[in-house]
Amino acid sequence: MEPILERNLLFNDVCFYISLFKLHKSYLLLLSDQKEMGIGNVTLSSPSLIEGVKTTSSSYSLFGIKNKIANKLIVERVANLLNTPVLLLSFLKTKMAEEDFIKPVMSCLNEMVSMLPK
């Protein structure tokens, strides 16, 4: 299986590797600060099922406890942008505060999703 989008983001001497895979009616998002990906934290998000109502997506932390807030924000944002369920595998080994890396990662993801055909 090949990713539909891949991006490397260098921020504060840490390189983030981001890959997005298309699945059947859903997506798989991999985020790592290592060249090799791992399972790490697993978070699932599903967009709102109510059409026409601006509600947030639901997210569930399935596995892992590191960077829970960042993982929740990332996966919910991508699920809302793509309007489909997204499973995030986040494998971050570098010690960095969530508030330090969340904004550049989110900006990169917004840009990546905007490149997808509608």
**Euclidean distance between CA atoms 65 and 55, whole angstroms:** 25
Q: Which residues pair with 54 in a beta bridge?
A: none
Output the pLDDT for position 110: 92
Residue 94 has a pLDDT of 85
pLDDT of residue 58: 67
The position carrying tokens 């993801």 is: 109
Question: Nearest CA to 116 among 1, 33, 7?
Answer: 7
Show contacts of 20-23: CB within 8 Å, 24+ apart: 20/112, 20/113
* AA letter at 41: N
Domain 5-103+110-114 matching CATH 3.30.230.90: the answer reads yes
Spans of the chain below 50 pLDDT = none
pLDDT at 15: 93
The residue assigned the tokens 């709102």 is: 48
| Full strand arrangement of the beta sheet holding 58-63 | 5-11, 14-23, 26-32, 86-91, 41-46, 58-63
